[in-house]
Amino acid sequence: MGRRLFGTDGVRGRAGEFLTAELALRVARAAVSQAAAGRAAGSGAGVRASGGASAGGRPQVLIARDTRESGEMLEAAIAAGVSEAGGEALLAGVLPTPAAALLVRRHRLALAAVISASHNPYEDNGIKLFGPDGFKLDDRAEDAIEAELARPASPGGIGRVRPLERALEDYLGELERRFGALRLRGLRVLLDCANGATYRAAPEAFRRLGARVETIADAPDGRNINAGCGSTYIEALRAAVAAGGYDVGFAFDGDGDRVLAVDGDGEIVDGDELIALVALHLRARGRLRGNGVAVTVMTNYGFHLAMAQAGIQVATTAVGDRYVLDELRRRGWSLGGEQSGHIIELGFGPSGDGIASALLALEALGGRDLRERSAMRKLPQRLVNVRGDREALAPALSSPELAAAIERESAALRGRGRVLVRASGTEPLIRVMAEAPTEEETAAACERLCAAVEAALGRR
Active site residues: 118
Q: How many Å apart are CA 373 and CA 350, to the nearest integer? A: 27
Residue 85 CB contacts under 8 Å (≥ 6 apart), including other chains: 28, 29, 30, 32, 33, 36, 59, 156, 159
Q: Which residues contact 321 (CB under 8 A, 6 or more apart)?
A: 9, 257, 337, 338, 342, 344, 351, 352
3-state SS, residue 40: helix
Alpha carbons 294 and 290: distance in angstroms, whole number? 11
The three-class DSSP label of residue 56 is: coil
Please tell me whether residue 367 adopts helix, strand or coil conformation. Answer: coil
| 194 neighbors 231 (Cβ within 8 angstroms) | yes
The contacts of residue 107 (CB under 8 Å, 6+ apart) are 60, 62
Please give the angle made by the CA atoms of 34, 15 and 2, to the nearest 5 degrees: 50
141 and 48 Cβ atoms separated by less than 8 Å? yes
Burial of 391 (0-12, 13-18, 19+ CB in 10 A): exposed
